Every structure is written in C-alpha cells, then in structure tokens.
Amino acid sequence: MTVYKGIDVSKWQGDIDWTRVKNSGVQFAMIRATFGWGKDQVDARFIKNYEGAKKVGVAVGAYHYSYAKTPEDAVKEAEHCHSVLKGKKFEYPIAYDMEESSIAALGKEKISEIAKAFCQKMESYGYYVCIYANLYWLNNYFTEEIFKKYDIWLAQWIEKPTFTRTYGIWQKTSKGRVDGISTNVDLDESYKNYPAIMKYNGLNGYGGTEPVEPPKRGFKAGQKVVLKDAKLYSSATSKRVANHLSGTYYIYDGIYFDGRYRITNSITNVERKPIGKYVTGFVERDELR
C-alpha cells in the first residue's frame, strides 16, 4: 500500500517556508480555510498557505472547523466554506472538522445529521468531502450511514491506530517537526491517491480534463455490467470482502475510486440519494464485464 506523507496547518504555524517543507519530503497539506459561518471567520493565513504550497508542488486539501448545532447551521458553514474555496483547486478532500466540545451533548443522531448536512451541501458544489474527528468521537458520535457515505480523517496520536473502520487519512501526532515550520505541526498519512480521484472525476475545482492516467476501461453512470462471483466491498478502501455477487448490476455514478466503482442493483437507483440506501457496494474495475 502506498503511503503519502502530509501535514495539516493553520495560522498557528505562523509563516511557513513551503520550499523547505517540500524538500523535507512532505507530499500534501491539509490547510484550515474557515470556521463557523461569519464573513470574518476565515483562517488568517489560508490564502498564503494555499498559494505557498501550490507554488512548490505540495498537494493541498482544506478543512473547516465546525461550531454548528443544527443541520441548518451546517449548511451555513458549507456556504461560507465554499465562498472561500471557490475558484481554487484541491487535490485532497475538503474536511469537516468535528471536535467542538459544546456539540458533543447533542448525541450521535443529531451530530450525524449535522455532518451529513455539511457534506451534502459541499458535494452539491462539486467537492469531495471527508469527516475529521478523533477516535472517541468516531466511536461514539456518528451513525453507520456516515461511515458508509464519507471518507474519514482519523485523529489518533498513537504509534499504531486502533480505529477498526476504514479511513483515508490518519493524523498521527500533534508534535511533529518539519523543516520550514518553526512550531510543532500535525503529521498525517494518506492511503489513497486523492489527486488522481479529484482530477479524473473533475472534483474540487478540477474540470475532469487534467492530465491523469484514466482507468483501462471507464464506466459511466447507469451502464449495465455483469458480475461473476465478484468480490463486493463496503467502501473504496476496505480490504475485507463483504460478499460475492453474480448477475446483472449497474454503475451507480461512474466515479472511479482507487480501482473500484460503486454499483447498484437497479437502473432506477442510479445516482439516487441517499447513497447509503441505493448503493450495493464497491467492486473492482477488473471484475466488471
């Protein structure tokens, strides 16, 4: 499995020498963009960090720190975040940072509805989103639907993660040191080729025409495929086979995830929402006929 080396930063890291960061081996950076939904709630160094990382070829994603206590608040946060991100290109996901202690008392169902509201709104703008949370939050404050629909950015500062579900990014420590940054900095690892996903599928500001090697055979939403004892997975990165399928199925949305496509069992389910209800699962491209 390919592991990509990354960091996440905000105004608290001060001035960053992105050339030195790049030369130290950092491949991607998750940059705080916004928080809350007020017009002035933009990270003071977001633009400088975005431009600095882009200039030297460090792939970037962004994150929004949430204070939302209702789905309506979450939509406002998404609108605010989009107003700052629009016109820019991101090779990594847009993360919804959920860790505010004042929200915890709302409970699993309400917190999950808040997360879903933000993510759905951002998806409507064409962004690939994920949820950032620590181990306790992930184990206690999110419903199964969230894990089925969205990537996870796990925060667990430990030598080896104990989270048992699939995650695309792991924040491994808050006390990392990287050349070009004078303060401690969060260190991350990514396990998916996010830049290829964004560019091939035209997400996060990319128009789908960027130079990236396409799948050997691309599949479009609604295309009929035949499976023969094909391995079915619950997510794009899961290593555990959930089932084996044979028969006729349909490509759910045509989005290519690291070698896999989402399928559905009826043409009427193609691209219907919610995804968790109408997607049968993920199948390797090479098993589709």
* pLDDT at site 236: 77
In this structure, CATH architecture of domain 224-287:
Roll (2.30)
Give me the CATH code for the 4-201 domain, please: 3.20.20.80
The string of DSSP codes covering the chain is: ---EEEEEE-GGG-S--HHHHHHTT--EEEEEEEESSSTT-B-TTHHHHHHHHHHHT-EEEEEEE---SSHHHHHHHHHHHHHHHTT---SSPEEEE---HHHHTT-HHHHHHHHHHHHHHHHHTT--EEEEEEHHHHHHS--HHHHHHSEEEEE--SSS----S--SEEEEEEEE--TT-SS-EEEEEE-S-HHHHHHHHT-TT--S-SS-PPPSS---TT-EEEEEEEEEESSSS--S--EEEEEEEEEEEEEEETTEEEEES-GGGTT-SSHHHH--EEEEGGG--
Q: Is pLDDT at 155 greater than 70 in this prediction? A: yes
Q: Return the higher-pLDDT residue of 236 and 129.
A: 129
The pLDDT value recorded for residue 276 is 81
Span of 28-37, 66-75, 271-280 with lowest mean pLDDT: 271-280
What is the per-residue pLDDT for 273? 82
- Position 31 scores a pLDDT of 98
Q: Is the pLDDT of residue 258 over 90?
A: no
- Give the mean model confidence (pLDDT) for residues 113-118: 97
pLDDT at 209 over 70: no
State residue 183's pLDDT score. 97
pLDDT band per the 50, 70, 90 thresholds, residue 211: very low
Most confident of the following: 173-177, 218-222, 257-261? 173-177
Confidence grade of residue 217 (pLDDT, cut at 50, 70, 90): low
Identical fold between 4-201 and 224-287: no
Domain segments of the chain: what residues?
4-201, 224-287
